[in-house]
């Protein structure tokens, strides 16, 4: 029987490395996870940790690699591709190569993460690049600043979209329109049956996005504020739940309220609950 899969939210990596989570407690939780789950690394989590490296001062580069090192080193790992591509692969059975001309698959994510961990600075990573000890003929060059700027674009667009919903210039999306937005960038015609299937299989992500639309209409929630700009990434994390084997470990209780009523919400695992389960079983 195949084991369920689990991936970590960014806040887990940061809390575990800054000792917000007690190290002894974390070791016990880790051992439990290794017994029960197959471990995965989310594109979004790695992206956010790489973004921290891009934005930090030169003297803090090595220190700020710690959360990425923790994420990478938690055991045998499967790197997950960019969330919409992952979802369309699983839901519509379309090969990744047919979806994205610039590959953001698991192998690509593994290579840039490993290179960042080996790099002494982001300047060296950009030029001349990093040679892998296991194969010195391979040279990986990567510009963290360009990556961070490009990958933060959707977050800024998402904040602007929600502000448009607030001021009435943009209509809140229904399920099918929301699914069409996912299909369109990949050149896929948003036929009704495809939209229905995508929306249904991404139910938790849709409910999360819908809750943000309601916030836009009913509160003064600032979507561009530091701490809120990751709302886009949070909704993207939930795309992975289209695979019924996948579970998501987070410390953020807002995922509970923002996915209320979704059958997929049961696979959003709050760290606090998992920790108590592990400690009680000891």
Per residue in 130-189, pLDDT (tens digit) is 998 878 888 999 999 999 999 888 878 887 888 888 888 888 878 999 999 999 888 899
Crossing angle of the two packed helices 43-55 and 106-118, in degrees rounded to 10: 30
What global pTM score does this model have? Answer: 0.93
134: which DSSP letter? T
Query: Does residue 282 carry a pLDDT above 70?
Result: no
Residue of 63, 72, 61, 70 lying closest to 121 (CA atoms): 61
Query: CA-to-CA distance for 158 and 170, rounded, in angstroms?
Result: 12
pLDDT in the model for residue 223: 65
Section 181-201 average pLDDT: 93
What are residue 94's phi and psi, to 5 degrees? Answer: -105, 130
The beta-strand segments (E) located in 43-107 are: 78-79
**22-26, 77-81, 161-165, 237-241: segment of lowest average pLDDT:** 161-165
- pLDDT tens for 210-242 read 998 888 877 777 766 655 567 889 999 999 999
The arrangement of strands across the sheet holding 246-250 comes to 78-79, 38-41, 5-8, 246-250, 268-270
């Amino acid at each position: 029987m195949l084991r369920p899969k689990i991936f970590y939210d960014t806040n887990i990596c940061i809390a575990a490395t800054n000792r917000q989570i007690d190290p002894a407690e974390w070791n016990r939780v880790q051992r439990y996870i290794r017994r029960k789950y197959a471990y995965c690394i989310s594109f979004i989590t790695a992206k956010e940790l790489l973004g921290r490296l891009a934005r930090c001062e030169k003297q803090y580069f090595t220190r700020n690699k710690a959360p990425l090192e923790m994420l990478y080193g938690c055991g045998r790992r499967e790197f997950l591709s960019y969330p919409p591509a992952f979802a369309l692969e699983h839901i519509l059975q379309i090969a990744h190569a047919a979806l994205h001309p610039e590959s953001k698959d698991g192998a690509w994510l593994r290579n840039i993460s490993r290179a960042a961990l080996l790099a002494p600075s982001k300047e060296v990573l950009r030029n001349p690049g990093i040679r892998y000890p296991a194969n010195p003929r391979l040279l990986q060059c990567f510009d963290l600043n360009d990556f961070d700027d490009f990958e933060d674009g959707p977050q800024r667009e998402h904040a602007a979209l929600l502000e448009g919903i607030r001021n009435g210039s943009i209509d809140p999306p229904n399920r099918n329109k929301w699914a069409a937005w996912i299909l369109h960038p990949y050149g896929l015609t948003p036929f009704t049956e495809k939209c229905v299937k995508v929306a249904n299989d991404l139910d938790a992500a849709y409910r999360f996005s819908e809750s943000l639309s309601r916030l836009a209409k009913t509160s003064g929630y600032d979507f561009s504020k530091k701490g809120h700009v990751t709302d886009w990434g949070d909704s993207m994390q939930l795309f992975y739940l289209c695979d019924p084997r996948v579970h998501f470990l987070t410390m953020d209780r807002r995922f509970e309220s923002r996915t209320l009523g979704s059958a997929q919400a049961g696979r959003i695992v709050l760290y606090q609950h998992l920790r108590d389960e592990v400690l009680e079983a000891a």
